[in-house]
Amino acid sequence: CHSRSQTEVVRSAFKMGWETPNWRIGDYPSQYNQKVHGPYDPARFYGKPDTPLAEVKVGELGSWLGRRNFHPRAMVQCISRASWRWRHKYVLPVKSNAAFLYQFIFCTSMFYYTINYKKFWAHTHYKYH
């Protein structure tokens, strides 16, 4: 029975779960080309552009959904791009307004309302007489 070193085990686990031939953690997207796109922007999608959802006709909706990538990695990348766009618009500007503060307060309020919903529901359905 051969015993492998701890680094070999970590390397093999890393290759099995986190590394694919075209992508590794920390790499630029494979579609990104610095000569064409200029400086890298994490809020931009560098893949082939497709028809926006607002411009898709009802009859073409099935084929449009068929062209979407529903892989978990693609979902994480989509959420990451959306969060970067939000940060660029509301958090990072030099001259920003109070929108970020209001959004934070609203999200915090909704979170606490959601976790305490059963208490509120029981209170509204209580008969006092």
Q: Beta-strand (E) ranges in 64-126?
A: none
Is 33 within the bounds of a domain? Answer: yes
pTM here? Answer: 0.64
Check: CB of residue 42 under 8 Å from CB of residue 84: yes
Query: If you ran DSSP here, which 8-state letter would residue 92 be given?
Result: S
Is 44 within the bounds of a domain? Answer: yes
The reported pLDDT for the residue numbered 30 is 82
Contacts of 25 (CB under 8 A, 6+ apart): 18, 19
Contacts of 96 (CB under 8 A, 6+ apart): 90
Domain span including residue 31: 6-124
Is 41 within the bounds of a domain? Answer: yes
Q: How is residue 26 written in tokens?
A: 């920390």
82: number of Cβ within 10 Å: 11
Burial, 101: exposed, middle or buried (Cβ in 10 Å; 0-12, 13-18, 19+)? exposed
d(CA 114, CA 119): 10
Residues with pLDDT less than 50, the chain: 16-17
How many structural domains is the chain composed of? Answer: 1
The helix/strand/coil state of 20 is: strand
Is 1 within the bounds of a domain? Answer: no
Check: CB of residue 96 under 8 Å from CB of residue 90: yes
28: number of Cβ within 10 Å: 13
Is 19 within the bounds of a domain? Answer: yes
The reported pLDDT for the residue numbered 26 is 74
